[in-house]
Structure 1
Amino acid sequence: MRYPIAALLPLALLLGACAGPEHLERRDGYVVDHFHVSHSHNSRVRHLVVHYTDVDEAESLATLTGPHVSAHYVLPLPAHQRAGEPLVYQLVDESRRAWHAGASAWKNRTNINDTSIGIEIVNTGPDRPYAEVKQALESDSENVSGIHWAPYPDAQIEALIALSRDIIERHAIHPTDVVAHSDIAPTRKIDPGPAFPWYALYEAGIGVWPEDETTARYRDRFDHAPPGLATLQQALQAWGYPLAASGELDTQTRAVLRAFQMRFRPDDYRGQADAETAAILWALLERYQPEALRRLSDRKAYRG
């Protein structure tokens, strides 16, 4: 027996109601039904940004819970444990925008706060005031070699690895988008500094690192015919840094080179353009962004 559509509507509404009250959320002036879920979505998070706090734990927490800056997570020194596991402070829910990156850029994105999770590591950084360190870094002085940077205890890095793996997996963050604060804001920031063990994170499956053989191959090439400065700038830009190819070793270029060297060549981070820095950069591009390297080749990049 056939029934008119109008007669079936009450039955449909009744069956819909059987979906259960757990799908209904009452808000001020309306009710939201969560029963129909779309699968066409992904995470807004694209970047994982690593910082150091530059101060001790108490001051770090006071600052990062204040009205001006914040981070999603804070890693204290490894004295804190709960149930035998290292303790991590979460200050901001991952669905919310923390204020940790400031004016920033990476690849084709700006305002990295909008697309990132920020981790602050309790670490006091250099043994000199920031202004003094920045002045030394911006000069051609050899004084940078005399700066002592606070180490990162192994247990603290183990906690960071566990936390980072979890974040990366949940948000499908690409290895090249695990970055330092100094990567995304090279003229303003120097954290987490040259003492941070990026290679240990890479060995744990987090972030990137060039292959030794590829680096050696490019080093041999560039010892004889180094890329010109404008080409090096284009390569740094292709890797992700906010940099224009001016052909001049200007303040922005020095800052970007320092950030890159602190991460991949921390024994010498004076911001000078040299064959070793170029070799590391080309090896990274070949491994992780071969299309960008091909575009550089198309521009006859190796002629400088």
Structure 2
Amino acid sequence: MIASELDPCPRQPGAGRLLLLLGLVVAIAGCTPATLKQRNGYWADQAQTAQAFNHRVRFLVLHYTGGDEARAIKVLTGPSVSSHYVVADQPPRRGGNPVVYQLVDEHARAWHAGRSAWGGRTHLNDSSIGIEIVNPGPVDTPSGTVWRGFDGGQIEAVTTLARDIIARYDIAPENVVAHADISPGRKIDPGPAFPWEQLYRQGIGAWPDEPTVNAYRERFRYAMPGIAAIQSALSRYGYDIDTTGVLDQPTHSVVVSFQMHFRPGRYDGIPDLETVARLWALNDKYR
């Protein structure tokens, strides 16, 4: 066996012409440290890493497409809007697992959130991953507006994808949000038919504890908090809302978004006892 085959980085290249040539080839091809990365016109030495950093991704935003899969893919691969992932209404499967469409690398900034704010941060495209879920949204019928539910296989795919993202970026439960939460009055997706509580049971997102909700129902049964206190509590939880003491249009929009997420049985924008009890319980648990 040739000596250079035993030593991938020969120390004595002068041992012969063959040895020299073999040594040079191996040195170039095989002895570059794994931490040394060649880029366009320079090398980046990654042997030393800093400890003072965190992930760019702080939020996970869930949307519905408001249309069918073909239209969604066409729009989301066009020049104006995008999302990191799309989950079909009936996701294809491979090896028993659902297939989701990834349109944007997670480390890139997709254009899914638009004008947005949550937890004191704005422009959430900069710090979030977006998942678009194929669903038509509200449909007008002769008997009124109907919200189509989400397919079981689709929710399975969303659950698996979201759980993986949350684990990799250590996203807090209260930072798994609806598009409606971060853009109240402007957006309503993924709507009141989205099974937030079901996802919570799978370790995704936030949900109030029923005993705490019950305690606040009793506490506020005869003396509800004022509008200013409710606005302050909504702001504390993460919504972008001013404390005006008036049930104005921005407050109404925020309450609608909150209700669609946490009490979808009624989302009229009126901060009633059930809404307030759930809001206070959420703040107790997460804030």
Partners of 2:205 and 2:105 in 1: CA distance: 23
1:79 offset after TM fit, Å?
A: 4.6
Corresponding residue number in structure 2 for 1:184: 182
CA contact (8 A) 1:261 1:277 kept: yes
Corresponding residue number in structure 1 for 2:122: 110
Could you say what secondary structure the match of 2:60 adopts? strand
Corresponding residue number in structure 1 for 2:172: 174
The question of 1:94 aligning with 2:90 is answered no
Question: CA offsets per residue over residues 24-70 of structure 1, 9 Å max, x none?
Answer: 33333322222223343221100000000001000000000100000
Of the three residues 77, 80, 96, the one matched with 1:84 is 96
Partners of 1:283 and 1:39 in 2: CA distance: 36
Q: Which protein is richer in helix relative to its size? A: 1
Corresponding residue number in structure 2 for 1:51: 63
Of the three residues 143, 146, 149, the one matched with 2:147 is 149
What's the Cα RMSD here?
1.9
Q: Which amino acid aligns with 1:200?
A: Q
The question of 1:62 aligning with 2:74 is answered yes
Matched residue count: 259
TM-score scaled by length of structure 2: 0.86
Partners of 1:23 and 1:239 in 2: CA distance: 42
Of the three residues 32, 42, 47, the one matched with 2:54 is 42
1:84 offset after TM fit, Å?
A: 2.0
The question of 1:75 aligning with 2:87 is answered yes
Partners of 1:232 and 1:19 in 2: CA distance: 64
1:152 offset after TM fit, Å?
A: 0.3
Partners of 1:191 and 1:261 in 2: CA distance: 12
Sequence identity of aligned pairs in percent?
Answer: 53
Corresponding residue number in structure 2 for 1:123: 135
Corresponding residue number in structure 2 for 1:266: 264
Unaligned ranges ≥5, structure 1: 1-16, 130-142, 290-304
Of the three residues 218, 233, 237, the one matched with 1:239 is 237
1:21 offset after TM fit, Å?
A: 4.6
Of the three residues 176, 186, 195, the one matched with 1:197 is 195
1:81 offset after TM fit, Å?
A: 1.4
Partners of 2:37 and 2:281 in 1: CA distance: 52
CA contact (8 A) 2:91 2:154 kept: no
CA contact (8 A) 1:70 1:91 kept: yes
Partners of 1:112 and 1:102 in 2: CA distance: 8
Partners of 2:130 and 2:48 in 1: CA distance: 32
Q: Which amino acid aligns with 1:115?
A: S
Partners of 1:250 and 1:68 in 2: CA distance: 32
Corresponding residue number in structure 2 for 1:140: none
Corresponding residue number in structure 1 for 2:43: 31
Corresponding residue number in structure 2 for 1:133: none
Partners of 1:85 and 1:202 in 2: CA distance: 21
1:207-226 map, 5 Å? 207-226=205-224
1:87 offset after TM fit, Å?
A: 1.1
Partners of 2:197 and 2:144 in 1: CA distance: 23
Corresponding residue number in structure 2 for 1:293: none
Question: CA offsets per residue over residues 268-291 of structure 1, 9 Å max, x none?
Answer: 1010121111111011111111xx
Partners of 1:202 and 1:157 in 2: CA distance: 12
Could you say what secondary structure the match of 1:127 adopts? strand
Unaligned ranges ≥5, structure 2: 1-27
CA contact (8 A) 1:19 1:35 kept: no
1:248 offset after TM fit, Å?
A: 1.1
1:155 offset after TM fit, Å?
A: 1.0
